[in-house]
């Protein structure tokens, strides 16, 4: 029996649909033990409500997993790299999948701690075996590292969905808080990185959405509902966005690493250049502490995802 990996999910659930899909996959993976969820970026309370809704849909065992709201704003707002949307998020916009959430009085209460303190206390009280899975801006973990530097010795590994290395790109999770991403990547902790291109490669087709919608289980129903909210949000009549499995692939590769090929090396985040701010660089080297997913097996990834989540 492989060892169960303890994880904390840090998420900006609520805008792109893949965070909800990733949380569902964690709960559907007996190889992973979810010890808590923290939310980040913009309306963290509303994001927490969706996280608690998905956990409730996963059943009694998952319903009371603590969810703590973290940082709404990034560490350094020296440039509005995400343009208008960054300002919009800071103004507490309601995430687009809010319509798929249960009313607050039907959910367990939010954890009373701030997300940063939740990370510190949970990781420091653990046995050095809790892996943060970062699928949003990395503000919460970066601030936890600053507030309690002893946390560095207690984190065995970090899993992130972030960055892009094949083209000069300021990927969303990096550009929402480039300084935080740099702190995490410079922490000296081994990191497994699922970059943007992997999610682009593994994008649902209509047949996959139909399979979720046709499944009569609470989790599948909630996900189908959230996908419908996501697809109708801001969609043109001629275009409904299809879910890309950016965040779920970061989770999936923890259990089945060979869904992707890996390259080892070091990742750095550019913070200086006027035109390169928030871009990520990868230098391949055999003893690097970062491991980047390079190519994904598309069909196996879809089947793995659906077989796990639809059985939940």
**Under rule CB under 5 A, residue 136 binds Ca ion:** yes
| Of residues 159-178, those binding Ca ion (CB under 5 A) | none
The CB-of-13 to Ca ion minimum distance in angstroms stands at 7
CA 38/CA 12 separation, integer angstroms: 9
The CB-of-37 to Ca ion minimum distance in angstroms stands at 12
Of residues 251 and 265, the one with the C-beta less far from Ca ion: 251
SS3 252: helix
| Of residues 229-258, those binding Ca ion (CB under 5 A) | 247
> Where does this chain touch Ca ion (CB under 5 A) — which range of 60-68, 131-139, 276-284, 304-312?
131-139
| Options 10, 19, 117, 177; binder of Ca ion; rule CB under 5 A | 19
How is residue 193 written in tokens? Answer: 């990185």
Of residues 6 and 47, the one with the C-beta less far from Ca ion: 47
The CB-of-161 to Ca ion minimum distance in angstroms stands at 7
Neighbouring residues of 6: CB distance < 8 A, sequence distance ≥ 6: 32, 33, 35, 126, 129, 130, 131
The CB-of-184 to Ca ion minimum distance in angstroms stands at 15
Of residues 174 and 269, the one with the C-beta less far from Ca ion: 174
Of residues 23 and 144, the one with the C-beta less far from Ca ion: 23
Kindly list the strands in the beta sheet with 67-69, ordered across the sheet, starting from the edge strand earlier in the chain.
67-69, 32-39, 5-11, 130-135, 158-161, 191-194, 290-296, 260-269, 280-284
The CB-of-135 to Ca ion minimum distance in angstroms stands at 4
Contact 22, 9 (CB under 8 A): yes
Neighbouring residues of 77: CB distance < 8 A, sequence distance ≥ 6: 86
Instruction: Calculate the CA 165 to chain-centre distance.
Output: 19
Size of the site for Ca ion (CB under 5 A): 5
Of residues 19 and 111, the one with the C-beta less far from Ca ion: 19
CA 5/CA 140 separation, integer angstroms: 21
* H/E segment holding residue 161: strand 158-161
The CB-of-171 to Ca ion minimum distance in angstroms stands at 11
Give the x/- contact pattern for Ca ion in 35-54, rule: CB under 5 A.
--------------------
Residues that bind Ca ion (CB under 5 A): 12, 19, 135-136, 247
């Amino acid at each position: 029996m492989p060892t169960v990996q303890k994880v904390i999910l840090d998420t900006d659930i609520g805008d792109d649909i893949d965070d909800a899909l990733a949380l569902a996959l964690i709960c559907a993976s007996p190889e992973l033990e979810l010890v808590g969820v923290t939310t980040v970026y913009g309306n963290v309370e509303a994001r927490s409500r969706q996280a608690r809704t998905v956990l409730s849909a996963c059943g009694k065992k998952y319903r009371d997993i603590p969810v703590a709201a973290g940082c709404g704003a990034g560490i350094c707002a020296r440039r509005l790299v995400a343009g208008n949307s960054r300002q919009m998020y800071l103004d507490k916009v309601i995430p687009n999948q809010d319509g798929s959430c249960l009313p607050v009085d039907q959910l367990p209460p939010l954890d009373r701690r701030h997300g940063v303190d939740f990370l510190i206390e949970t990781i420091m009280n653990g046995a050095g075996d809790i892996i943060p899975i970062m699928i949003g801006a990395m503000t919460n973990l970066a601030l936890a590292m600053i507030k309690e530097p002893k946390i560095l010795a207690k984190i065995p590994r970090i899993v992130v969905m972030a960055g892009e290395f094949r083209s000069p790109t300021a990927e969303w999770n990096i550009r929402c808080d480039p300084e935080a991403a740099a702190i995490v990547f410079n922490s000296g902790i081994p990191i497994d990185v699922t970059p943007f291109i992997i999610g682009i490669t593994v994008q649902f087709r209509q047949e996959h959405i139909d399979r979720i919608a046709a499944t009569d289980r609470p989790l599948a129903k909630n996900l189908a509902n959230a996908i419908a909210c996501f697809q109708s949000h801001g969609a043109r009549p001629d275009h409904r966005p299809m879910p890309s499995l950016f965040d779920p692939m970061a989770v999936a590769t923890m259990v089945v690493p060979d869904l992707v090929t890996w390259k080892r090396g070091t990742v750095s985040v550019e913070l200086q250049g006027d035109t390169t701010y928030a871009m990520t660089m990868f230098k391949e080297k055999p003893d690097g502490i970062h491991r980047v997913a390079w190519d994904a097996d598309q069909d196996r990834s879809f089947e793995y995802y659906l077989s796990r989540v639809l059985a939940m």
